[in-house]
Homo-oligomer: A and B are copies of this chain.
Amino acid sequence: MSILSGIHPVAEALRNRHPLERLLVAQGAGGPRLQEIIDMARRASVPVRFEPRNALDRLAGTPAHQGVVALGVATKYTDLDAVEQSELVVVLDGVEDPHNLGAIIRTAHAAGAGAVIIPERRAAGVTDVVAKAAAGALEHLPVVRVTNVNRTLEDFKKRGHWIYGLDERGTEDYTKVEYAAPTVLVLGGEGKGLHEQVRNHCDVLVRIPMAGKISSLNVSVAAGVVLFEWRRRRA
Q: Please, which residues of chain B bring their CB within 8 A of the CB of A175?
A: 232, 235
Q: How many copies of the chain does the oligomer comprise?
A: 2
A106 with B210: CB separation less than 8 A: no
A211 at the B interface (CB under 8 A): yes
A213 with B107: CB separation less than 8 A: no
Q: Please, which residues of chain B bring their CB within 8 A of the CB of A137?
A: 212-214
CA distance A141 to B221 in the complex (A): 18
Q: Please, which residues of chain B bring their CB within 8 A of the CB of A231?
A: 211
Q: Please, which residues of chain B bring their CB within 8 A of the CB of A218?
A: 103, 106-107, 133, 135, 220
A210 with B133: CB separation less than 8 A: no
CA distance A175 to B229 in the complex (A): 9
B99 with A211: CB separation less than 8 A: no
CA distance A228 to B227 in the complex (A): 12
B99 with A217: CB separation less than 8 A: no
A140-B212 CB under 8 A given contacts A133-B218, A218-B133, A221-B103: yes
A177 at the B interface (CB under 8 A): no
CA distance A109 to B27 in the complex (A): 54
Out of B110, B214, B225, name the residue touching A135 (CB < 8 Å): B214
Out of B99, B208, B211, B217, name the residue touching A112 (CB < 8 Å): B211
A residues neighboring B (CB under 8 Å): 99, 103, 106-107, 109-112, 133, 135-137, 139-141, 175, 208, 210-214, 216-218, 220-225, 228-229, 231-232, 235
